[in-house]
Amino acid sequence: MSSTIPEFTVHRSEVSSGQSIAYIRENIGGYPLLLIHGFPETKRIWYKNIGPLAEAGFEVIVPDLRGFGDSDISMDGFYDPSAYAKDIYTLVHDILGHETCSIAGGDIGGVVSPELTLAYPGFVERLCIFNTIAPLLNEAYAEAGIPEDDPMETRSVMDYYIRQGTDGDGLAKEMDTPERRREYIASFYSHRLWHGDYNFSRDEIDFFTEPFADAEKFRVSYGVYECSFGKRELSDIGNFFYPVPVPTLILFGPEDPVMDERFMQRCAIAYPDHAGPFIISGAGHFMQWEKADVLNNSLRHFLHDKLQVKK
């Protein structure tokens, strides 16, 4: 590992029969803050946040979602937000013993976060959401005059999403070596330009892509996209069709090519008790790495009273 990338102890817990989740847990006894990754990520995308947030007083809990990183492949074949949320709730609530927590998440993590909030009432006290899909309140968005997504734009900018969601086996067959799988993931950190001002080094890209070299892990990493297209069965329909009532900090990295200002407009409706939306200049999709200091400080201030109570 590069000397510029911190190292942490990885723990494992069994959240259901034969299903183990890997996670990092730092500063036990602090206020529990859960950091949830997305795609094309693992818990490693949060490595610049863990130390500073633990030093600030949080108990920082950073899992790999099922099928990602060091976590097990799903035993039941489910890779949907409800299945991810159930694993995490079991880990944080039942195993680690936290009655409540707050969450930060982007991409898939920003979909799992509201599911955890609504599926387990009282468990999540506050949210921080960035660069993700807003809950599917399509009628409310239409009433507010927010334009729908342009199908032509979707095809040109989100080709990865369509391919992963509709031709998962074909993509897996094409990416038939560890090197090809890693280069596919590397494209999101390099020539696809999902980042803003930040340029990822080769060491960083190698660090992020390493967990995707495994053929099974690569194949299931986009299982949630297949759920979106009806190509994979859901464990539960979930709660992504309702407003989320808890206090929420909304951040936006404007250099993300798969997101635009409609993200902010929709989230302002979906999360009615919100701060922001705040634009983080120069940030793209990977805000937690690109603008780690900004995100860390934002979370510290947004949850300042929780830290004070915990002390």
List, as one string, the DSSP characters of 218-279: HHHHTHHHHHHTTSS--S---STTS---S-EEEEE-TT-TT--HHHHHHHHHHSSSEEEEEE
Model pLDDT, residue 209: 98
d(CA 142, CA 148): 8
Residue type, 74: S
Q: What's the whole-model pTM score?
A: 0.96
Looking up tokens 């190698």 gives 206
**CB-CB contact of 21 with 12 (8 Å):** yes
CA distance 264 to 74: 33
pLDDT digits (tens, 9 = 90+) for 59-102: 999 999 999 999 999 999 999 999 999 999 999 999 999 999 99
Instruction: Return all residues near 119 (Cβ < 8 A) that are at least 6 apart.
Output: 82, 85, 86, 89, 238, 239
Among positive and negative, which fits the CA dihedral 280, 282, 284, 289? negative
Domain 10-148+237-310: CATH superfamily, name plus number: Alpha/Beta hydrolase fold, catalytic domain (3.40.50.1820)
When pLDDT is cut at 50, 70 and 90, the band that residue 17 belongs to is: confident
Identify the pLDDT of residue 157. Answer: 74
Domain chopping of the chain, boundaries? 10-148+237-310
pLDDT at residue number 18: 86
